[in-house]
Every structure is written in C-alpha cells, then in structure tokens.
Copies of this chain bind each other. A is one copy, B any other.
Amino acid sequence: MKGEMMFSTNSPPRAVSLSFGAGLWMFGQFVDRYATDAYGPPVGTLQAIARAGEVGLLSAVDINYPFEPGVTPAQVKSALQDAGLRAIAVTPAIYTRKFQRGSFTNPDSKLRGDAIDLCKRAIDVAQLLEADYVKFWPGQDGYDYPFQAEYTQLWDLAVAGVRSLAASHPQMGFAIEYKSKEPRTHITFSSAARTLLAIQDMGVDNVGIVMDLGHSLFAQETPAEELQLIARRGKLRSVEVNDNWRQWDDDLTVGAVHLIETLEFMLALRSIGWQRPILLDQFPFREDPVVAARHSIGMLKLLDAALDRIDLAQLHEVRTNQDALAAQRLVYQTILGDLR
C-alpha cells in the first residue's frame, strides 16, 4: 500500500512497545432505540477530545466528520494538540439519516454522490489534520430483507464507490472497517475475506482494512487468524479492539468476555510486528468512558505482559504440532499458575 508499509507475518514474535488510540465516539453521547433521550448529555467534538486527553494513555484518535456544527478543523487541531493527541484517522459519517438506505450502495445515485462528496470533505480534513487514513464504515450499505437487493449490484456499487475515492486521492490512505451487520441486518463488507476480495476488485493500492477485534468475533471469525490473513496480503491498515458476546457488536471493554481469544489476538499482533497504535472502539453506555478506556488499556498491558512470560518459541513448536493441550498448558499456566 501507498504511504506506509504494511507489516508481514514473517517477523518473529517479539515484544514491541504498545501505544494506544481510540475512536473519538467513545467519549461522545450514546443513544439507542430505547433510551431515545440518550445515555448521557450531548458531548461536542472538542469536549470529546478533551475527555480523550483525560485518559492520559492515548496518543491518537479516529475522529468522526462532520464535527459538531460550528467547529472548524483548526479548532480540532488545536484541541488535539492541547490534549496531547493526534488524528490517526478521519471517519466520515456516511451512516446517518440521510444515508439510511446506503452510502456507496444507495439506490439513489444522487445520494451516492452526496456520500462521495462527504467523503471528499473528510479527506480534505484528514489532510489538514495529517491523519494517516480516512476510514470508511459503510454500515448502511447492505440489506435487511430476503430478495431486497441484487447482491451483485451492491457489490459493484460498494467497490466502485471506494475505488473512485481512492483513485482520485492517490496520496491518501484509506481503510474499510468491515462488520457483518448493524444497523443493516446484512452489511456488504461483512468479513475479512470478502473485504479482501472487494479490495482486489478495486484495483487500487491505497485501500486497506481496519480490523476491529469485536467485529471479527461477531462475524464468527477467529480474530488472530483473520488478522494474519489480512496482514500477509499487505492490507492491514489499522486495528481496533473491544469485546462482545459474539451475537452483537456490544463494544464492551477489552478482554472482558473473550480473554483467551484476545490474548491470542495480541500474540498475532506481535507475530506481524505491529508497532502502530491499537485503537479502542467501545460504547460504554453505562460506564464512565475515561475509566472504561483506562480499564481496557490496563487489560491490554496485562495481556501483553502475560505474553512476555510465555515461552513463545515453545508455544510456536507445540502449535506447529497442533497439540491443543500442550498449548493450553503453556498459555493457561502463565495466567493461572502451573497446570500440572
């Protein structure tokens, strides 16, 4: 990919200094279809940045665009500086009311154009903020019902939309965050493998993938496996983390449910030599977001420290021999004590 090199999977597992970022939305206001009066008061863009800074452990944020009305990119840049943060990504809000029937795949060509225009403005802002990439999360691009859509059309429109933006902005990096569903019951960029195929169809070299650990669990993937699948093809642009119960995108704190799978994912990150920030993507509906962010980072550090205590060379050997119980002994005794 253009700009930054993607990491290969061949580098030996080794400790790297961890750094952290977050989606700015996790410091904003949450609403759902029941608590229509929201889980808390409104939070503007600048206030959310200040909250992110309060965490004290974050270096980067992914920022939704448009900002709160009236806020300029210059103000955002300044607020980031004050908070000790940088914009790693800008994410255009191509999933709000206007785009409820789709952004890139909207059946109305006028609205597809509007989505592209919004993305272009987000690209401009990303350049101003010196962000690494513009992230596409086309959660309204898909379908809800059987027989609702022509699947090949959805695919072609989704591919064409991203391609056109990538081709017209060859110096900018782009990334697709796949997810199997929500808000549509079926989203077109649904899995790692499907998104890799779509990126091939785009025929551009500046589009990669944001792998969200929770989306991968939710999609019934094995996250460590898909991380490597993406990384080996040079398409891993960024990594987001959280947890869920594999039945919905609950956006819980990291490792709360899938401790073992999260540990395995952290090991996979080492194996590909990941050195960029790991971004939190949480919706702490009923928790303090600053506390929840620190909590997740604490968990990531503990898991990383646990990896330091595991004999990774021996683990690699028993995994090569596909010895499930021996692998567990190495891993779980580090966590819980000696299993013998």
Contacts and interface: CB of A to CB of B under 8 A. Distances in A.
Interface of A: 9, 29-40, 95-97, 100-102, 107, 139-140, 143-153, 155, 180-183, 185-186, 191, 193-194, 196-197, 219-220, 222, 224-225, 228-229, 232, 244-248, 250, 252-253, 255-257, 259-261, 264, 268, 283, 285-287, 291-292, 295, 298-299, 302-303, 305-306, 315-316, 319-325, 327-333, 335-337, 339-340
Which 9 residue pairs spanning A and B have beta carbons closest together?
A193-B193, A145-B324, A151-B225, A302-B336, A148-B324, A147-B327, A193-B194, A298-B339, A107-B322
11 contacts: A30-B33, A34-B183, A143-B322, A145-B328, A191-B193, A196-B197, A219-B220, A253-B325, A253-B328, A292-B325, A295-B325
A315 B327 CA distance: 31
A248 to B, nearest CB: 6
A150 B320 contact: yes
A77 to B, nearest CB: 24
Given A33-B30, A147-B315, A298 B256 contact: no
> Which applies to chain A's interface (DSSP): helix, strand, loop or mixed?
loop
A105 to B, nearest CB: 8
B252 A186 contact: no
A33 B146 contact: no
A33 B31 contact: yes
Most chain B beta-carbon neighbours within 10 Å: one of A35, A146, A181: A146
Nearest to A98: B37
Contacts of A328: 145-147, 253, 256, 295
Contact of A185 (B229, B245, B331): B245
Contacts of A246: 246
Contact of A295 (B316, B320, B339): B339
A151 B224 contact: yes
A281 B260 CA distance: 22
